[in-house]
């Protein structure tokens, strides 16, 4: 965990009844100071109870709900003047959603931005975890469209609350059992349900299964923000994150044998398919983490410079 960051969050979560209006830096991070503190308190609760979905009074943000408003609120609540921010969508710093959110964060805080995790402290992401190993310096902020992992088996929110409270996840297991019986394989795709710290089942946003093992016993803090559904949850560093799977049915990540990035040649990163077109002929693969791919190319051909 970035201990300094968590300490900052704690420091900034104290009640501010005694603060004079002059102390409110309303502009930094867009949100008013009261809102930031409320969000920080929710974050602290989430860190203290790993995997528990903490309700919070989600603010309306200058991005639509479903477009990263939860992640953005977390970023703006924890960001300090010394942070460097990286924002990705689908692994890509140039994705439209990433560009939009990065502009908001940078313009409302004045902090520097970066595309390399090495130089960043806050990484807000939609659907991916960067390929580079992250560590104590990093806080990963994941945008969550649907935070409730059990919604597929239960719709009634009162019953859902009970199931989480009693760690009653039998019906989730039944759904996995039925899936395996019906299809021969577990067909869950992204957002794979995981048991955190042996207690709460979470939805791992829609990150691919490829990224799920990297949440387990990670060195970094992961914060999950669902703005529309008004929930924040966390995976603190060095915490167990186990994908729900049967002992004799191995958890499978997305691997297509023989697939290689057309740009950097990697077969060790999460690849996305570029479908065949009439003009280009056969389909091919590219890294989803665009910045990692760029640096991978650079490593191989230091003289070539960087492709646009």
Partner 1 sequence: MNNDWALKVASLGKIHGITDLRALEDTGPDIGTAKSALTGSIVAAWDVGFEVAPGEALGVIGESGSGKSTVMRCIAGDQSSTAGEVYLRSVDNGRTNVLDLDPSSRRRLRVADLAVVYQDPAEGLRLNVTAGGNIAEALTAAGWRHFGRIRDRAAELLERTEVPLSRMDDLVGTFSGGMRQRVQLAKALANEPPVVLLDEPTTGLDASVAAGVLDLIRNLLEETGVAAVVVSHDFAVIEMLTTRCVVMNHGRIVEAGLTDRLLEDPHHPYSQRLVGAARA
Partner 2 sequence: MGYAAARGGLKAIEAAERLVARERVLGDSPWLESKQMIEKLRLAVDRVMGEGGLWDEHLAASALRQAEGDPIEAAHLLRSYRSTLPRLAYTTPVDVDDLVVLRRIVPAFRNPPGPQLLGRTTDYTGRLLDTNDETTQRTTAEKMAAFLEESATTTNGFGDDSEREGDRRPRRLLDLLRDLDAVVDRRRVDDPEPFDITRHAARPPASRSARLATMARAETGALVNVWYRNILGPDGYLHEITLGEVRHGRLPVTVVHPLTGHEISIGEVRVTEVEAIEDLNGIDEDRGRFDVGYGLCFGHNEKKAIAMANLDIACERDRGRSFLEQSILLTTDGLDASGFLEHLKLPHYVTFRSMMERKAAIRQHQDHS
Instruction: Say how many residues touch partner 2, by CB under 8 A.
Output: 74
> Could you say which of partner 1, partner 2, none residue 291 binds, taking C-beta under 5 to 8 angstroms by partner kind?
none
Residue whose structure tokens are 């077109």: 277
Q: Which is nearer to partner 2, 5 or 78 (CB)?
A: 78
First-to-final CA distance of the chain: 34
Q: Which is nearer to partner 1, 170 or 276 (CB)?
A: 170
Contact 78, 5 (CB under 8 A): yes
The entry of partner 2, partner 1, none near residue 21 (CB within 5 to 8 angstroms by kind) is partner 2
Q: How far is the CB of 207 from partner 1 (least distance, A)?
A: 24
Pick from partner 1, partner 2, none: which does 301 bind, CB < 5 to 8 A by kind?
none
Interface with partner 2 includes 66 (CB under 8 A)? yes
- Quote the CA–CA distance of 134 and 164 in Å, as a whole number: 30
**Candidates 69-77, 243-251, 273-281, 292-300; binding stretch for partner 1 (CB under 8 A):** 243-251
Given the complex with partner 1, which of 164 and 209 has the nearer CB atom? 164
Check binding of 251 to partner 1 (CB under 8 A): no
Among 126, 138, 295, 297, binds partner 2 (CB under 8 A): 126
Partner that binds at residue 28, options partner 1, partner 2, none, CB closer than 5 to 8 Å by kind: none
CB of 28 or CB of 173, closer to partner 1: 173
Catalytic pick among 51, 68, 91, 227 = 51
Tell which one of 50, 51, 70, 145 touches partner 2 (CB under 8 A): 145
Give the one entry of partner 1, partner 2, none that residue 249 binds, where binding means its C-beta sits below a cut-off of 5 to 8 angstroms depending on kind.
Answer: partner 1
Reply yes or no on whether 194 is catalytic: no
**Contacting partner 1 within 176-205 (CB under 8 A):** 177-178, 180-182
**Closest Cα to residue 293, out of 101, 92, 127?**
92
Residues 238-267 contacting partner 2, CB under 8 A: 252, 254-256
Judged by CB, which is closer to partner 2: 2, or 269?
A: 269
Minimum distance between the CB of residue 172 and partner 1, rounded to whole angstroms?
A: 8
The Cα–Cα gap between 28 and 114 comes to 19
Which partner, partner 2, partner 1, none, binds residue 152 by CB below 5 to 8 Å per kind? none
Nearest to 45 by CA among 35, 55, 60: 55
Q: Are 230 and 206 in contact (CB under 8 A)?
A: no
Residue 261 appears among annotated catalytic residues: yes
56: contact with partner 2 by CB under 8 A: yes
Catalytic residues: 51, 261, 264, 287, 293
Contacts with partner 1, residue ranges (CB under 8 A): 162, 165-166, 168-171, 173-174, 177-178, 180-182, 246-249
């Amino acid at each position: 965990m970035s201990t300094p960051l968590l300490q900052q969050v704690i420091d900034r979560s104290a009640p501010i009844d005694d603060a004079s209006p002059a102390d409110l830096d309303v502009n930094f991070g867009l949100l008013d100071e009261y809102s930031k503190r409320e969000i920080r308190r929710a974050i602290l609760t989430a860190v203290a109870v790993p995997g528990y979905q903490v309700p919070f009074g989600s603010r309306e943000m200058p991005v639509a709900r479903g477009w990263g408003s939860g992640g953005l609120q977390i970023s703006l609540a924890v960001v300090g003047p010394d942070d460097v921010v990286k924002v990705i969508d689908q692994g890509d710093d140039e994705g439209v959603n990433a560009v939009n959110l990065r502009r908001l964060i940078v313009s409302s805080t004045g902090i520097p931005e970066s595309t390399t995790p090495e130089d960043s402290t806050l990484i807000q992401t939609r659907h991916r975890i960067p390929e580079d190993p992250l560590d104590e310096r990093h806080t990963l902020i994941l945008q969550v469209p649907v935070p409730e992992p059990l919604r597929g088996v239960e719709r009634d929110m009162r019953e859902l609350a009970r199931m989480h409270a009693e760690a009653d996840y039998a019906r989730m297991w039944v759904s996995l059992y039925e899936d395996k019986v019906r299809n021969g394989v577990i067909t869950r795709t992204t957002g794979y349900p995981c048991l955190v710290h042996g207690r709460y089942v979470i939805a791992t946003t829609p990150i691919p299964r490829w990224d799920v093992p990297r949440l387990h016993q990670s060195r970094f803090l992961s914060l999950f923000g669902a703005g529309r559904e008004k929930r924040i949850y966390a995976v603190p560093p060095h915490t167990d994150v186990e994908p729900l799977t049967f002992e004799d049915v191995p958890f499978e990540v997305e691997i297509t044998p023989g697939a290689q990035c057309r740009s950097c040649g990697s077969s060790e990163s999460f690849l996305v398919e570029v479908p065949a077109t009439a003009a280009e002929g056969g389909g091919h693969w590219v890294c989803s983490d665009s910045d990692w791919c760029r640096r991978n190319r650079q490593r191989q051909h230091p003289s070539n410079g960087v492709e646009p």
